[in-house]
């Protein structure tokens, strides 16, 4: 489980670095995730763990800035999201204690967030609290074990450098089938549905991918920067080898596991 301080520290980076590393996946994911959560015009939506605003952008396009609220524990991300999306109510805070009124939104969406929170049960309870009756909560997390090709290949390579590398498939929760659904069920949500959401990102060359890790974003970037120069060189070589030693552009796929549930009555 990730504590609050450590979880937010991993994302005390500028929004441009995040966009190069993960935003290239989270933007296309936002479109299919918003469809899954049935976000449509006329609804009020809360984006929990908004980051610099990939999902927020999609929500604004669907319901308008005045109907979107957003929250993140990272000050740089809150500032970036607010600057990118004028009119959105963007706040600094934690998912375990949402600074929003009871029954104030129709949808709560959390994209690539649950695996970083310190108390998932409290987060699910907060989702239910801020939702109006019959409102929907939806969350998604990368399938670290198989579906997220960029991170899966990185950690497979990292484990050849250090056997104790913090592989996200074993250190983080909610990337497996049924995990998010079970959390929502325990919080009293009904009509729970699950889905696998598939996206992809194209890289101009291997250096474009590698530079993303050197930005120090998230657990993978943090681990990469913790290595000494020789270890990092070995990691780079092994990652390149496992990707088939690409010489030019290449595409990596990513699958997120999603679940949604309705607040009963």
pLDDT single digits (tens) 201-239: 999 999 999 999 999 999 999 999 999 999 999 999 999
Q: Are strands 105-111 and 89-92 parallel, antiparallel or unpaired?
A: unpaired
Mean pLDDT of 81-94: 98
CA distance to 10, 65, 118, 204, per residue, from 172 (Å): 14, 32, 11, 30
- Is residue 202 within 8 A of residue 196, CB to CB? The reply is no
Q: Which two tokens stand for residue 195?
A: 């889905």
Residues 150-165: what's their mean pLDDT?
97
Average pLDDT value over all residues in the chain: 94
Query: Residue 197's closest CA among 95, 63, 20, 58?
Result: 58
Domains in the chain: ranges and CATH: 4-262 (3.40.50.150)
Spatial distance between the Cα atoms of 25 and 220, rounded to a whole number of angstroms: 15
What's the average model confidence in pLDDT over 70-87?
96
Which residues, in sequence order, are CB contacts of 15 under 8 Å at separation 6+? 23, 51, 52, 76, 77, 80
Q: Alpha-carbon distance 1 to 20, whole Å? A: 26
pLDDT, one tens digit per residue, over 24-42 is: 999 999 999 999 999 999 9
Mean pLDDT of 102-131: 97
The separation between CA 21 and the C-alpha centre of its own chain, rounded to angstroms, equals 12
The yes-or-no verdict on residue 18 having pLDDT over 90 is no
The 190-203 sheet, strands edge to edge: 89-92, 68-72, 45-48, 105-111, 131-142, 250-262, 190-203
């Amino acid at each position: 489980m990730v504590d609050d301080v450590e979880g937010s520290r991993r994302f005390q980076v500028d929004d441009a670095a995040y966009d190069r590393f993960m935003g290239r996946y989270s933007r296309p994911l936002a479109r299919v995730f918003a469809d899954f959560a049935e976000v449509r015009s006329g609804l009020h939506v809360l984006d929990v763990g908004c980051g610099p605003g990939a999902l927020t952008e999609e929500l604004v396009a669907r319901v308008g800035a005045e109907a979107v609220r957003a929250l993140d524990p990272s000050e740089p991300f809150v500032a970036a999201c607010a600057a990118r999306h004028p009119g959105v109510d963007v706040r600094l805070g934690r998912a375990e204690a949402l600074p929003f009124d009871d029954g104030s939104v129709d949808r709560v969406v959390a994209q690539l967030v649950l695996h970083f929170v310190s108390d998932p049960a409290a987060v699910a309870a907060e989702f239910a609290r801020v939702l109006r009756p019959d409102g929907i909560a939806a969350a998604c997390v990368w399938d670290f074990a198989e579906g997220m090709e960029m991170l899966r290949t990185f950690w497979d390579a990292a484990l050849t450098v250090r056997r104790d590398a913090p592989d996200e498939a074993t250190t983080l929760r909610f990337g497996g089938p049924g995990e998010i659904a079970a959390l929502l069920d325990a919080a009293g949500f009904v009509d729970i549905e699950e889905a696998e959401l598939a996206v992809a990102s194209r890289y101009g060359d291997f250096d474009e991918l590698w530079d993303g890790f050197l930005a120090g974003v998230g657990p993978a970037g943090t681990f990469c920067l913790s290595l000494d120069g020789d270890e990092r060189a070995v990691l780079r070589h092994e990652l390149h080898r496992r990707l088939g030693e690409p010489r030019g552009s290449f595409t990596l796929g990513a699958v997120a596991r999603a679940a949604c549930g309705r607040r009963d009555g």
